[in-house]
Amino acid sequence: MGRFDELHRRSIEDPEGFWGEAAQAIDWVEPWTKVLDDSDKPYYRWFSGGRLNTCYNCLDRHVDGGRADQAALIYDSPITDTIRSYTYRELRDEVARIAGGMAALGVGAGDRVIIYMPMVPEAVMAMLACARLGAIHSVVFGGFAANELATRIDDATPKMILSASCGIEPNRVVAYKPLLDAAIEMAQHKPDHCVVLQRPQAEAEMGPRDRDWQESFAGASPHDCVPVAATDPLYILYTSGTTGQPKGIVRDNGGHAVALKWSMKNIYDVEPGEVYWAASDVGWVVGHSYIVYAPLLHGCTTIVYEGKPVGTPDAGAFWRVISQHKVSTMFTAPTAFRAIRQQDPAGNLISDYDLSQYRALFLAGERCDPNTLSWAQEKLGVPVIDHWWQTETGWSIAADCLGIEPLPIKPGSPTRPVPGWDLDVLGADGHPVAAGEIGAIVGKLPMPPGTMLTLWNAKERFFTAYLSEFPGYYQTGDAGLIDEDGYVFVMARTDDIINVAGHRLSTGAMEEVLAAHPDVAECAVIGAADTLKGQLPLGFVVLNAGVSRPDAEIAQEVVKMVRERIGPVAAFKTVTVVKRLPKTRSGKILRATMRKIADSEDYKLPATIDEPAILGEITEALQGVGYAADSKGAA
C-alpha cells in the first residue's frame, strides 16, 4: 500500500486521530474537548470546546514567529498598472486598524458584515478584519447585480457593508456604489453603516449612511484578535441553489483553519515562505480558501491579481505574474487556460518569461477537458492537477495530493478522494453501483473538517438539500463514476446548476427572471457546451397569446433583465422566442433532453439572440430519440 492509500485509510478509520494531529499546526487559545462531535447526528462539529482566532493564525502568529518582513500579499493589477506588496507586519497592522475602526462603528463578534468589493488588497484586509473581531463576513462577488446583493443583505442582515467606489473590467469601469445603494433600497434590512473605499477611476457619491474608508480606518486604534469557538461561523458564502434564493454556506473557524493549513502541504505541496497564486476572485470559494485563508495560514505569500488572463495586456499575463513574483504553484479554472490557448495556441508567449521556479498548476471549478489539460502540460512542462471541489466543501473532495504521493494522472479525472472523504456512487435505488458505473456521487458522513456547517438561517434546507435523499451521506449534486483504480470522474450536475467560465449559476434562478417578463408565458433555460466558458446559458421563451411585438425586442428585454437582476456574470445573451416547449405528457419541460441536443456535436450555438431555428432543431432531434409524440403533444 502506498503512502496515499495509507493516509487515506487512516483518515477514514481514525478521523479523530488524523485531524487531531493536523490540528497541532494551528495555534489554539483553548484546546478542543472533542475532535469530532457527533452528539447531534447528522449535524457534525469539529473541535468542539476549542477556541482560536483565524486572523491570529493567518497574521499575528507569523509576525511573532519570524515572518514579519516577508511579503504576505502582493497586489498585482495590470488593469490599473499597479503592483504593491505588504509584509506580514504591514498586513497585520492594516487589518488591526480596520478591525479597530469597524469595532468603533459598532461591529462585534457574531455580527454579519457584507463585503462587496473588487480584487483589491482592502477586500482581503476586510475579510481578515472580520475574522479578527469574530464578526461573520459574507463576500458578494462584484459581477452580481443589485438584486442579488439585496437578497443577501436580507438573508445575512449585516450591521455593516464594506464596499468600494468601483471595479474595473477591461471594457468598462463598474460603479459599485449605485448598485450598493439600489440593493439597500430594495432590501428590507438596512445596515447601520457602509464604508466605501474611494478609487480614482470613479469616485462614489456619499450618502448619510456612508463613511469614507480612509477616514474610518487610517487613524483607528488597532484591535486585538477576539478568540471565538472553533464551531463559531467564520463566514457565510452564498452560492447558487435551484431557485432564486441562494444558499448561504456557513463555514466554521476551527475545522476550516485545520483543513486549509493541512491542504497546503499535503495537496499543493507548498512550503511556508513560498509564493502561491490562486487566480480567482475573493467573491468565490476558491478566492476565500486559496487567495486568503490557506496561503496565509501556511505562511506563504499570496497574490491578489486584478485583471484577466488575456488582454491585460495579452495572453502572456499569467506567465509575467508567475515569473515576476516567483510563483511556485498556481491555481485557476480551466476556462482561463482555454482563453489563453485561444489567443496563443502555440504558447509562444510562455518562452518570454523565466518560469524556472514554477512547479505545478492546479485547476478546478468546472470539468477540465482533456485538451486543456494536455495543452497546459505540454506548454508548461509541470504537473497539471485537476481537482474537484465545491463552495459547500471549501476545499477539495478529490485531488492528486502532490505533497503526499503523486499518483498517475488520468485525463478527465480529478484523481482520488482526498483524506477525509469516503466517496460512493449511488444508483437511483440508493445503493452503490459497480466500479465504472455512473450514479450520484456522495460522501459518507461526517464530512471532513472545513466543510459546510449548515445553511445560514436554513437548517431545514441544509438537511433537505444535502442530507435527506441518501441518509448517512452528503449529496454532492454531481453525477459521475469511480473506476476500478479508485479514480473519480465528475460528469455533470444532477440539478439545474450550470458552470459558466468557472462561475456557478442556477438556470432555475434565470428562469424566474424570464418568467417575470410580462409577455412571457413560459420558459426554459439550459446550459449548452461552449468551447471557451465550458457552458453558456440558452433561454427559450413562449409568449403570451396575443403578443404582437417583435420577438427580437422581447428577447433583448429579457437579456437586459437577467443582466440587471442577476448580473453580467450570468453571461446570458442568447434567448429564442419559440411557439412551444418540448414537454412530457404530464407537462414537464424536457430540459435534460434539450440539454443533450444542445451539447451534441452537430448543434451550433446561434449567433444572434433572435434565432428561431433552435426549437425546430431540438424538436426534430427529439423526434429522432422517440419523444415525437410528447413534444408534438405539448401545446
Shortest Å, Cβ 496 to ligand COA: 19
Task: Report how far residue 177's alpha carbon sits from residue 298's, in angstroms, rounded to the nearest whole number.
Answer: 35
Binder of residue 414, out of ligand AMP, ligand COA, none (CB less than 5 to 8 A by kind): ligand AMP
Binder of residue 421, out of ligand COA, ligand AMP, none (CB less than 5 to 8 A by kind): none
Shortest Å, Cβ 287 to ligand COA: 7
Task: Report how far residue 404's alpha carbon sits from residue 411's, in angstroms, rounded to the nearest whole number.
Answer: 20
4 Cβ contact list (under 8 Å, min separation 6): 401, 404, 405, 407, 416
Shortest Å, Cβ 409 to ligand AMP: 13
Amino acid making up residue 359? R
Pairing mode of beta strands 160-164, 193-197: parallel
Binder of residue 211, out of ligand AMP, ligand COA, none (CB less than 5 to 8 A by kind): none
Shortest Å, Cβ 117 to ligand AMP: 19
CA-CA-CA-CA torsion sign (445, 446, 452, 454): positive
Do you find a cis peptide bond into 227, omega within 30 degrees of 0?
A: no
Binder of residue 478, out of ligand AMP, ligand COA, none (CB less than 5 to 8 A by kind): ligand AMP
Cβ closest to ligand COA, residue 196 vs residue 501: 501
Task: Report how far residue 240's alpha carbon sits from residue 504's, in angstroms, rounded to the nearest whole number.
Answer: 6
Binder of residue 97, out of ligand AMP, ligand COA, none (CB less than 5 to 8 A by kind): none
Cβ closest to ligand COA, residue 20 vs residue 142: 142
Cβ closest to ligand AMP, residue 19 vs residue 388: 388
Other beta carbons within 10 Å of 77: 19
Shortest Å, Cβ 490 to ligand AMP: 4
Other beta carbons within 10 Å of 516: 13
- Beta strands (DSSP E) in 316-394 are 327-332, 360-363, 384-386, 388-389
Binder of residue 569, out of ligand AMP, ligand COA, none (CB less than 5 to 8 A by kind): ligand COA
Shortest Å, Cβ 387 to ligand COA: 11
Q: Which three cell numbers stand for residue 505?
A: 449559476
To the nearest 10°, report the CA torsion of 83, 87, 90, 94.
60
Give the rounded distance of the alpha carbon of 432 from its chain centre. Answer: 29
Assign 330 to helix, strand or coil: strand
Other beta carbons within 10 Å of 315: 22
Residues within the interface to ligand AMP (CB under 6 A): 239, 285, 364-368, 386-391, 414, 477-478, 490, 493, 499, 504
Binder of residue 391, out of ligand COA, ligand AMP, none (CB less than 5 to 8 A by kind): ligand AMP
Cβ-in-10-Å burial (0-12, 13-18, 19+) of 332 comes to: buried
Cβ closest to ligand AMP, residue 59 vs residue 250: 250
CB 394 within 8 A of CB 405: no
Residues within the interface to ligand COA (CB under 6 A): 118, 142-143, 167, 169, 171, 174, 279-281, 284, 286, 308-309, 332-333, 335-336, 339, 365, 501-503, 568-569, 571
Cβ closest to ligand AMP, residue 326 vs residue 493: 493
Binder of residue 367, out of ligand AMP, ligand COA, none (CB less than 5 to 8 A by kind): ligand AMP
Cβ closest to ligand COA, residue 1 vs residue 607: 607
Shortest Å, Cβ 274 to ligand AMP: 23
Cβ closest to ligand COA, residue 133 vs residue 514: 514
